[in-house]
Every structure is written in structure tokens, then in C-alpha cells.
Amino acid sequence: MHETKNRRRSGCLIGCGVIGAALLALGGLGGWLLWSSYQDGFIDREDYDAVAVGTAEAEVRRALPDGDSFLVEGLGRGGPAVPAQSSCLRLLSTDSLDGTDDVIVFRFCFRDGALVEKTSYPSTD
């Protein structure tokens, strides 16, 4: 009888350990995903200022994050009109993390392989 109770207790401990390890792994994965999204969606003012209009698109894109982040989804709905026949990369300013409600968007627009406009504006989203 004691042997059966010990087996059940051991099985329960093993099961709890497996569940605990799985929860830790999921928490770590979630943290990594948030950190990755942060790095892919934010730049600081110095990085924004360092980019000059007229620079080759490939050079600008090498210098900036790719913007592949759920944090920047929907940022295209606000801001000034996009230059004709251009595609734009939108990133968030790290200044947006200062605890205020202001979320600043840095937008870089490209046409014919060059940066034709860069602008910053408060997000309306």
C-alpha cells in the first residue's frame, strides 16, 4: 500500500515539475518575443537624426531595425500624407517609453532606391 502511495506521490511531483518547467519555458519565450519586438520596432532620436534624406535605401535599412514588430502595426493610419509612389518604414521612438502618453513615430519613406522623406509625428493610434 505504501508503495502505491509513493508511486502516486512521485508521479504527481514529476508531473508538477514538468508543468513548472513548461511554464518557465513559455515565460522565457514570451519575454524573448517582447524583447525582439522592442528591438525591431524602436529607435532613439540620435539614430533618427543620423539618417539623411537622399541616402540610398539599402544603406538606411542596414542602419535601422526592420520594423517587423507587432508594436508598429497600424502606425500607417496616422501622420502626414505619404509622398507619392513611395513605401515607408515606421518605427517608434524610444522617447515614447518615458511614461507619458505621447507615442512618437519616426517615418522613413523611400522611392527609386533612395530616402525621399523622413518625418516624426505623434501617433494617433
Question: At 116, phi and psi to the nearest 5?
Answer: -105, -15
Please determine, for residue 4, whether its predicted confidence score (pLDDT) is greater than 60. Answer: yes
- Considering just the CA atoms, what is the radius of gyration of the chain in Å? 23
pTM exceeds 0.85: no
Q: What is the pLDDT of residue 55?
A: 98
pLDDT at 104: 87
Give residue 96's pLDDT band: very low, low, confident or very high (50, 70, 90): low
Q: How far apart are alpha carbons 81 and 77 in whole angstroms?
A: 10
* C-alpha to C-alpha distance for 122 and 106, rounded to whole angstroms: 9
What distance in Å separates the CA atoms of residue 47 and residue 116, rounded to the nearest whole number?
17
Q: pLDDT tens digits, residue range 48-94?
A: 999 999 999 999 999 998 887 766 666 666 788 999 999 999 898 88
